[in-house]
Each structure stands twice: as structure tokens, then as C-alpha cells.
Structure 1
């Protein structure tokens, strides 16, 4: 059976080190994506994320970190499924950074298609919120998903 994998990306008008810090530092990440975290994303550690619009904690197992280039972790991206997430950063000649997110893989069945749609939406939102925060100091996520409280 065919396997589904999320692949999305966005260019941000900031240097790779600024983008990297905004992803690994929970004090910065709480300005655009999560409500809180138990710590920085450091290779070989686990942290717990809380989202403002969802109940419960999300365990993040950090598997690889290359400063200013890569953050990779495993999480329960779909119910009962541990999935690998890879966030790669590529600094461009104009000092902007291309951020790419991949997650997966799951079978192309009904459950996989539901996961693919929901998590693709989530990662595209993550990227848009990261861009708005870094370029304009705006938290796009604040209040955006109140209608989803309790769905996770």
C-alpha cells in the first residue's frame, strides 16, 4: 500500500540562527505555536508541549539537532502512532531561510488520509505563524482555534 508523508515548506525573511532559536526555545515558541513546554529541544531529551486550544500534553522525543540546520523528533502524530518529524533550515544567499517540515509515513487508508489532512494543515499553520512572529512580531495562533477546544 502507498505510504503518505507530509512535506511542506515556507521561506522566512530571517537568518537561519534566528529561525532555529524560535523553534528550539520554548519561550519563543510560546509566542506563536505552543502554550508551554517543559524545556528546550535538545538532542536526546524529551519535552512535553501544551497547546492553547487542545487538552492534554504532547510528548516530544528529540532525536537529532544540528544547530541552524535541523530539528528532528518523534511524537504521537496520529492516534497510537509514533511518527518522525523533521524540520530542516536552509539559509539562502539573501539571508532568508527556507524551512521545510516532513512528517510520516502512514498507509494511504482512511485513517492515514485523515491524519495527512489534519497534520498538513497543522504544519502549514506552524510555518505561517513562525513567519508572522519572526517577521512582524504577531501571534497568528492566539484565539485562532478556540472552536477546536477539546478535539485533540
Structure 2
């Protein structure tokens, strides 16, 4: 049995703005990462850096369907799939699913932690796109000590 981590949220912005907020590193550094070697593009590899970690994370196997879905690998055991759905009021539902790890005690802990991590990603994305607020700034400074 494979485990998966899930999170979803509704953002009061059109689908094209939400999509751009996820693939465009100039926007991502405002709410999620501190650095990127480039935009998410199908077939490309980028490196992400998070402000609270010294490591850099390669983002591979990137597949995009404009204004519909984004998928990538950043953990060799899992695939992240982000699906976008535009509603009649022009808001967008964003669903994140990270899956692929086999069931074990350690991987169950991973699934729970990553569900919280993806929920944080979505809350930060919503706050930034709707209100220009950077929720992540300073939120994880305690992890650097």
C-alpha cells in the first residue's frame, strides 16, 4: 500500500494567476522558497532553496499543463501533483497530492508531516495572491538554530 499526502484550498483569484503564482519563481520567493534556478517548465530541472534549510533541492520530472496541473519530483520516492480547478465565480481550487511512499512507520510520519507542509504552502500561496502577505517570512527561523 502506498501512502499519500494531500491538501487543498480555494483561492479567490482566476486560474491563470494561481498557475503563474506556482510556476513563476519571482512569485514563489514571496511565499514559499528563497531561491530558484528558474521557472517550472516541462522537461526542465530547477533547484529550490528554502530559507530555513541549508540544502538545495532538485526539482525534476516536471510536467505542466497550463492552468490545469503541475507535477514534479523532489523526493525520489514520490511525485507531487498540483491540480487547479476554476469555479464559476472565477476563484480557483488548488489540490496538492504527493504520493509514492510504501507504508511504514517512518513513511506514515512523512505523510502526516507533508500534509501539514502542503497545507502551509497553500495558505501562504492564498495569503500572497489575495492580499500580498508573506506568511512564511520568519515563520521557520527557529528551525535554523
**Shared fold by TM > 0.5?**
yes
Deviation at 1:108, TM superposition (A): 2.4
Aligned to 2:82: 87
* Residues 48-103 of structure 1, C-alpha deviations (whole Å, 9 max, x = no match): 00001111100001431011111100111xxxx43100011000000000000000
Q: TM-score, normalised by structure 1?
A: 0.91
Matched length? 145
Which of 107, 112, 117 is the aligned partner of 2:107? 112
In the TM superposition, structure 1's runs of 4+ consecutive aligned residues that sit over 4 Å from their partners are none
Q: TM-score, normalised by structure 2?
A: 0.96
Paired with 1:89 and 1:72, the residues of 2 have a C-alpha distance of 11
Aligned to 1:50: 49
Point out where structure 1 has 5 or more consecutive residues left out of the alignment: none
Point out where structure 2 has 5 or more consecutive residues left out of the alignment: none
Paired with 1:28 and 1:144, the residues of 2 have a C-alpha distance of 18
How well do the aligned residues superpose, as a CA RMSD in angstroms?
A: 1.1
Aligned to 1:12: 11
The answer to whether the 8 A contact 1:15-1:96 is kept is yes
Paired with 1:70 and 1:108, the residues of 2 have a C-alpha distance of 26
Paired with 1:46 and 1:10, the residues of 2 have a C-alpha distance of 27
Paired with 2:43 and 2:24, the residues of 1 have a C-alpha distance of 16
